[in-house]
Chains A and B, each alone.
Chain A
Amino acid sequence: MVDIVGFCLSFVSFFGIYAILTLSLNLEYGFGGQPNFGQALFYGMGAFVTAILTSNLLLILTHQHLENICTISSLVERETIATSNPSVTLLAWAISGITSIVVGAILGFIASYPALRVKEEWYLAMVLLVAAQIFVIVFRYNTRLGCGFDGIAGISNPFSWLVSLTPINSPVIPNLVYSAIILLFTYLCFVLTERLTNSPFGRLLKSVRDDWLASSTLGKNVNKIRTQVMIIGSSMASLAGWLYVYYIGVANTEDYTSTFTFSIWVMMILGGFANNRGAVVGAFFITALDRFTLIGSTLLQAYFPGFNPNIISYSKYLLESLLLLLLLVFRPKGIMKEGVILTPAYRLFSLRMGEKKNERNYS
């Protein structure tokens, strides 16, 4: 009844992508103090840039002329290319990946632009929130950019061509490979954020977070630090968008709404403020909530045909918001507490004070 392998793969894939998003938000807000209420914007932009670029690339690189990627014929053509032409598919995949990261970085830079910050801190938060809404509207209704309400389809798994190469001929192989790749990127992002935060730069971030005026008094360039963290965070979110759109096959604005930004915040607060492991843990739990409600909905539909499946997804959103409220009121620091900045300096002190090797929390 339930496709166990499919479920596990989807769990793992969503978990990986959500973890990257949570790590990026945690970097921006948990460590850097920048409230990003529009993270879905960077995520979605990475997705749409990928979708548009790769669809066009697949057609151009196989010497076909450019045509409207929104048509069914284009979709069929692109899927055929993906299953038969490894070099073009992988090249398009790589190029769109690099482009999304660059676009994310540029957007991050714009989002932190000093002019926006000169007046009040909350302007940034407001503008990001509004920008994210506008992104959804523009890409949903503008058929030249986004193929309309249904989004851009036909972004096949970049390893679809493996199916014909393996003796088993099973469609699971590309999914397996791609999910592994997602996890690889998740691991890379984790290592990246851990290194960034356990370094002098991490100290700078926290100082700007805790008291930017005092940080400025100590000669730190607060604006530059904020810009840097936004660029890194946004690139990471766009990377997640690139990974996601290839996994799900469609770039649809429904996936990048403010409700989803809210989910990322829940993951971060649940897992633990300013704690990278916590971010991953938080992503894990919300992915579980997400995936199990989906399964539950499918099962209920099978056994109770008259059942309205939407009620399950409504309940999911209800639970998420209730969870966040309970967290904020009773345990705002989340599951895992903020850790110390682990640098050689810390280890020196730790050794001289005769502490155990793996102590990494504030006492």
Chain B
Amino acid sequence: MSEIILETRSISKSYGGIKAVDDVSLTVKRASITVLIGPNGSGKSTLFNIISGVDKADGGQVFFMNKEITHLLPHQLFQMGLYRTFQNPRLFFGMSVLENTLLPNNSRGDNPLFALFKRVWQDDELSKAEKAWKVLGTFSLVPLYKNRASEISGGQIKLLQLAMMLMVEPTLTLLDEPIAGVAPNLIPIIFSAFQEMREKGKTLFIIEHRLRELFEIADFVYVMGRGRLIASGTPNEIVKNEKVKEEYLGTSVA
């Protein structure tokens, strides 16, 4: 098993003359929680879009588990074990919390012919239900199980997104600002879920605004500014990094 699960080489992307991402090369270690921070507009989300196949890079390559994935589409990446959440969560707002949670995993009942006969997919369904019970319970979402996703709060939507990730336990998950807007008392629960994933050998690559929140659990940090990678290192190293402080211009980073 390789140590490095994700690698980008010289990724560049411009939007009409502005370099959103400028020659970014980084690596993410397997079974780590790697964090990407940077001020607004530094290109973090664009980089994620490129890695997750939503956007096309102007130049550079992306490797996942040593295979090149630069030109692959989101559903292909999902099947390889790469999952991505969005800053503005993309859930299924016409369905309930439970239905959203049960969706990501496959089932024999996905086939319409088999779907007609409950006995074929019943067991699948019940084991998924048990898992969902546990996962939703972790985030205190169980009482909302039959509420439509359009009717729960923004923070709860983010939790639901995380719950869906936990149902699948992808090899590598790119999380785009997963804790923004979440009630502070729930953050420790989220962190322990992240740590559990790491213990299971899964990798998390997280975009967040400020390092402070993720300081305790981050293994490695990358800092972007105006499209470029300006620093990388352990959380301790980053906090002491002069360039980083400059980039944030007075915003405290630790």
> Contact between B94 and A200 (Cβ–Cβ < 8 Å)?
no
Given the contacts A344-B125, A353-B142, A353-B145, A219 and B92 also touching, CB distance less than 8 Å: no
- Contact present for B147 and A363 (CB under 8 Å): yes
Give per-residue flags for A14-36: 1 if the beta carbon is below 8 A from chain B beta carbons, else 0: 00000000000000000000000
Within 8 A of A (CB), among B85-120: 90-96, 98-99, 102-104, 106-112, 115-116, 118
Query: Is A211 close to B, CB under 8 A?
Result: yes
Q: Is B183 an interface residue (CB 8 A)?
A: no
Closest-CB distance, B223 to chain A (whole angstroms): 27
Contacting pair A349 B133 (CB below 8 A): yes
CA distance A203 to B103 in the complex (A): 6
CA distance in complex: A212, B103 (Å): 13
Neighbour of B92 across the interface among A206, A221, A350, CB < 8 A: A206
**Interface-lining segment among A48-56, A111-119, A191-199, A320-328:** A191-199
- CB-CB under 8 A for A349 and B129, given A203-B103, A217-B74, A362-B146: yes
Among candidates B84, B103, B115, B130, residue contacting A196 with C-beta atoms closer than 8 Å: B115
Residues of A within 8 A of B147 (CB): 362-363
User: From residue B150, how far is it (CB to closest CB) to chain A in Å?
Assistant: 9
Judge whether B92 and A341 touch: CB under 8 Å. no
Interface status of A121 (Cβ within 8 A of chain B): no
- B109 contacts A199, C-beta separation under 8 Å: yes
For the residues of B in contact with A, the DSSP-based class is helix
CB of B40 closer than 8 Å to a CB of A:
no
Complex interface: chain B residues within 8 A of A221 (CB): 75
B148 at interface, CB cutoff 8 A: yes
A82 and B84 CA atoms in complex are apart in Å by 63
Query: Are A195 and B92 in contact (CB-based, < 8 A)?
Result: no
A147 → chain B closest CB, angstroms: 37
Cα A217 to Cα B83 with chains together (Å): 8
Output the nearest chain B residue to A221 by Cβ-Cβ distance. Answer: B75
Please give the number of chain B residues whose Cβ is less than 8 angstroms from any Cβ of chain A in the complex.
48
Given A196-B116, A219-B79, the answer on whether A348 and B95 have CB atoms closer than 8 Å is no
Pick the residue among B54, B74, B99, B111 that contacts A206 (CB under 8 A).
B99
A209 CB within 8 Å of chain B: yes
Given contacts A218-B78, A348-B133, contact A203 B95 (CB under 8 A): yes
Q: Is B17 an interface residue (CB 8 A)?
A: no
Look across to chain B and name the residue whose beta carbon is closest to the beta carbon of A206.
Answer: B95
Complex CA gap A203/B112 in Å reads 11
Known contacts A199-B109, A203-B103, A349 near B98 by CB under 8 Å? yes
Most buried by B among A200, A206, A340, A350: A200
Which of these, B90, B94, B133, contacts A352 with CB under 8 Å? B133
B99 and A341 form a contact (CB under 8 A)? yes
Report the Cα distance A362→B133, complex, angstroms: 18
Q: Chain A residues with Cβ under 8 A from B54's Cβ?
A: 217
Q: Considering the complex, which residues of chain B in the window 122-147 have a beta carbon less than 8 Å from any beta carbon of chain A?
A: 122, 124-126, 128-130, 132-133, 142-143, 145-147
CB pairs A–B below 8 angstroms (14 shown): A192-B116, A200-B102, A200-B108, A201-B115, A207-B92, A211-B91, A218-B104, A340-B99, A340-B146, A343-B125, A345-B128, A349-B145, A353-B142, A362-B146
Kindly list the 5 A-B residue pairs having the minimum CB-CB distance in the complex, ordered from nearest. A200-B109, A345-B129, A219-B78, A199-B115, A201-B115
Q: A200-B121, A202-B115, A348-B133 are in contact. List 9 more A-B contacts (CB 8 A).
A: A196-B116, A210-B94, A216-B75, A219-B75, A219-B104, A340-B96, A341-B96, A345-B98, A348-B129
A-side residues, CB < 8 A to B, are 192, 195-196, 199-204, 206-207, 209-211, 213-222, 228-229, 232, 274, 338, 340-341, 343-346, 348-350, 352-353, 359, 362-363
Q: Could you tell me which B residues sit within 8 Å of A by CB distance?
A: 52, 54, 73-75, 78-79, 83-84, 90-96, 98-99, 102-104, 106-112, 115-116, 118, 121-122, 124-126, 128-130, 132-133, 142-143, 145-148, 164
